[in-house]
Amino acid sequence: MKTNMVRVILALLAAAILAGCGFQLRGSNGQYNMPFKSIYLAFAETSPLGTELKRNLRAGDGVRIEPDASKAEALFDVLSESRGKAILSLNSLGRVREYSLSYTLVFRVRNANNKELLAPTEITLRRNIAFDESQVLAKESEEQLLYRDMQADLVQQILRRLAAIKPV
């Protein structure tokens, strides 16, 4: 009984300290302050990365996603987007033991006057995945999960780079 009371007091004390120091959990969208009010995203309609980036930008405050490039303050150009899978290691029988997954995006950002706000930027993310021939379906699901995780990480990195752009 007494230990439960001590735990409750310690939890309240920790919460008070964190609240007092200004610590605040960041939301899933990050709430970045963008240096522009509208942006055109040059992703294909079916791009999962483009969809997630749009969702995160809309969740913030003040940035409009323009469907028409001529009406946007900033233009996000996708120069290339690719996923890769390479053998990382083999077992003693020469069978694949581990793969390296990669997700690469190269993009740039221009203003309405075609002046570059952000030079071509490449972001490459890598994840390793163990492979087991007896669990092929499970490993395929794990691979898709890792790609989704890399996509979410990529969106956050893009948002940070967009927020860091200095207006011209």
Per-residue pLDDT tens for 72-104?
999 999 999 999 999 999 999 999 999 999 999
pTM for the full model?
A: 0.76
Tell me the residue type at 81. Answer: E
Q: Give the three-class secondary structure for 72.
A: coil
What percentage of the chain's residues is helix, strand, coil (to nearest 5)?
A: 40, 30, 30
User: How many Cβ atoms from other residues are within 10 Å of residue 14's Cβ?
Assistant: 10
User: How many Cβ atoms from other residues are within 10 Å of residue 113's Cβ?
Assistant: 6
Q: With bands split at pLDDT 50, 70 and 90, how would you rate the model's confidence at 61?
A: confident
- And the tokens for 1? 């009984």
Contacts of 142 (CB under 8 A, 6+ apart): 129
> Can you give the pLDDT at residue 12?
62
Residue 152 has pLDDT above 60, yes or no: yes
